[in-house]
Amino acid sequence: MTVLLPAVTETDSVDETARILKETSDEDIAQVLVVVCDRTTPETLARCEALESRFGDRVHIHNQHLPFLGGAMREAFDLATASHVIMMSTDLETDPKLVPRFIELAKKHPAAVITASRWAPGGGFSGYGRARVAANWVFQRLTSLLYNTHLTDATFGYRLFPTPLVQAIRWEGLRHEFLLETVLKPLRLGVEVIEIPTFWTPRQEGESQNSLSTQARYIRTLLAHRVQGAATILRQSSPAPIT
């Protein structure tokens, strides 16, 4: 598995994420792909570089060219070399203790996308804010209706994918709406998507890069990919090499 770790202002939570990954899933991790950008702080970068002490030459730090979180993940997808990629964060909002469960399911269902859900039985939220939880619920229901799916959490960006799938799709979003796109396009392609319940707790350090104006893009993303012609979901040719 390739683990994708984007980082901007996280410090101790980078260490804690790596510690748990190493402790629970070391033998299944072939590559640790850290993505940093111009806004990544020097201390965060230092913590990312220190991951080499745990994972050795499996760590690769990539300086993104495309902007924002979607840009970071899109470039990382093309740099992944393992059979599967797991997309998560370094702010501990994507519980790293769940990684062994993702791997267990991926071994049984290698062609499927595995995704964490805060709305599946056994999952939940703390400290998300009542209005935001309510808006999130409405959005999830709308997604189920439009995409005719029983999935319960399309907006949480904690997912495992077969690498050939993410390298075949033509990705479009650059900001956080990209996280939504990563389940909508596999659904449109008829890929099996399996959910794991998870409990979401807010970050203890660093700053979210998400904003209300970014969240407003989710509606457009939801509608655009619903009506998009199937032929435009996949890339026409191989990705250009990223250096």
Residues at the contact surface with ligand GTP, assessed by CB under 6 A:
6-8, 10, 35-37, 64, 68-69, 72, 89-91, 93, 157, 176, 208-210
Q: What is the DSSP string of 88-116?
A: --SSSSS-GGGHHHHHHHHHH-TTSEEEE
β-pair partners for 2: 31, 85
Binding-site member from 93, 153, 177, 181 for Mg ion (CB under 5 A): 93
Q: Does 91 bind Mg ion (CB under 5 A)?
A: yes
Least distance to ligand GTP from the beta carbon of 115, Å? 14
With the CA atoms of 28, 110, 87 and 170 taken in that order, what torsion angle do they form, in degrees rounded to the nearest 10?
Answer: 140
Q: Quick one: 174 or 233, whose CB is closer to ligand GTP?
A: 174
Q: Quick one: 125 or 228, whose CB is closer to ligand GTP?
A: 125
User: Where does this chain touch Mg ion (CB under 5 A) — which range of 68-76, 89-97, 114-122, 191-199?
Assistant: 89-97
Measured CA to CA, the distance from residue 37 to residue 66 in angstroms comes to 9
How many of the other CB atoms lie within 10 Å of CB of 19?
A: 12
Least distance to ligand GTP from the beta carbon of 203, Å? 6
Contacting positions for Mg ion (CB under 5 A):
91, 93, 208
